[in-house]
Amino acid sequence: MTKIDIYSGFLGAGKTTLIKKMISERYKGQKVVLIENEFGQIGIDGGFLQDAGINITEMNSGCICCSLVGDFGKALEDVISQYAPDRIIIEPSGVGKLSDVIAAVNKVTNEDVTLGYTVAVVDAGKVKVYMKNFGEFYNNQIETASTLILSRTDIVSQQKLDQAVEMLRSHNEDATIVTTPWDQLTGEQLAEAMEGKHSLAAELAQMAQDHHHHDDGHCCCGHDHEHHHHDHHHEDDHCCCGHDHEHHHHDHHHENGHCTCGHDHDHHGHHHADEVFTSWGVETARKFSREQIETALRQLDTRAYGFVLRAKGIVAGEDGSWIHFDYVPEEYNVRTGSADIIGKLCVIGSKLDEKAVAALFGV
């Protein structure tokens, strides 16, 4: 029996970190295959995960929908037939629609292959801004997942965390929501959450079941119990964040309204990732200083290069080390890591000025 778990999440939310934790703490001893579906020309997560000894099938495609309906399904079938794994972990592109991934998985499920966890990893500090600017893609992940696992909850204010939970709940009333920092939870606890065992709905169902075991219809503890119902407020079917959701379009991947990948796509009110997001990637042998990288990452926050959602890289350092970096809006991490065969830089965003980004990194 093969279970297929899907770990979605918007760009930079922490999917890779969560997957590493689950593999080391929950999937140990199982035959696990990880399938990544990267948006853009250059996949960098592969290098990070290979450091952890994880088996990877990496597919790069600027047109995410093509890989989902074509290569993606074939890759699943090939992995199942060749490896017969206990578990397949799918890490979709950060700008992919979770509903599309689930549809692709459902096409290959049978009595021996089942859909397991459907998770959306959510950066607790970015919920409001991402809902406002990228509602169609962002909300699809939130609304489709059975479990919402929040990241960076330990570095946001209580007010911002409460607001994030309220906004997420307004888009998904049934999902289990995890807000406890991951280092305080075991992989087993997270797995139980993904299975719905720790959800409020599950606990209420258990209470209801226990209630039926009492002949007098009252709880045997002797106390009266109040049940608080949380209503999620909407006005005129608008998101409770109070913003209209704008959708920004990019035309440079399309000609006359058709994707240049050669496939026809259904555009009835729905947008594909390559219409809204631009991916810039380059390989480079150039050597960088840590200060150069940090300065460039701070510049990405100015919006002078477009709305930059994600930047990642593995580049050679001037001192002989290798520099690994990650960027999401208002946050970045620069560290020393293992060497790669050549330096790689990747930036993803909306209305991205690719020439300016190239000049920023000097490549």
Identify residue 112 by its one-letter amino acid code: D
Mean pLDDT, range 61-81, rounded to an integer: 59
Paired tokens of 215: 């002949």
320: left (phi over 0), alpha (psi -120 to 50) or beta: left
Position with higher pLDDT, 295 vs 173: 295
Q: Is the pLDDT of residue 239 over 60?
A: no
Q: How many residues does the chain have?
A: 363
Position with higher pLDDT, 29 vs 170: 170
CA distance 188 to 251: 45
Position with higher pLDDT, 350 vs 276: 350
Position with higher pLDDT, 142 vs 285: 142
- What percent of the chain has a predicted confidence (pLDDT) above 70? 68
343 pairs with which residues across the strands?
284
Closest to 146 measured CA to CA, from 112, 113, 178, 114:
178
Closest to 281 measured CA to CA, from 357, 185, 235, 345:
345
Quick: pLDDT tens for 310-352.
888 899 999 989 999 989 898 899 999 988 887 888 888 888 9
Helix H, strand E, coil C: the string for 158-192 is: HHHHHHHHHHHHHHCCCCEEECCCHHHCCHHHHHH
Mean pLDDT, range 171-177, rounded to an integer: 90
- Count CB neighbours of 76 within 10 A: 23
CA distance 69 to 334: 36
Q: Is the pLDDT of residue 210 over 60?
A: no
Identify residue 225 by its one-letter amino acid code: H
Highest mean pLDDT among 212-216, 230-234, 272-276, 359-363: 359-363
**Widest pairwise Cα distance in the chain:** 77
Give the SS3 label for residue 76: helix
Q: Is the pLDDT of residue 231 over 80?
A: no
Instruction: Please report the pLDDT score of residue 357 as a whole number.
Output: 95
User: Confidence band (pLDDT; 50, 70, 90) for 198?
Assistant: low
CA dihedral for 253, 256, 260, 264, sign (positive or negative)? positive
Closest to 182 measured CA to CA, from 16, 362, 354, 361:
16
Please, what is the average pLDDT of the chain? 75
Identify residue 173 by its one-letter amino acid code: E
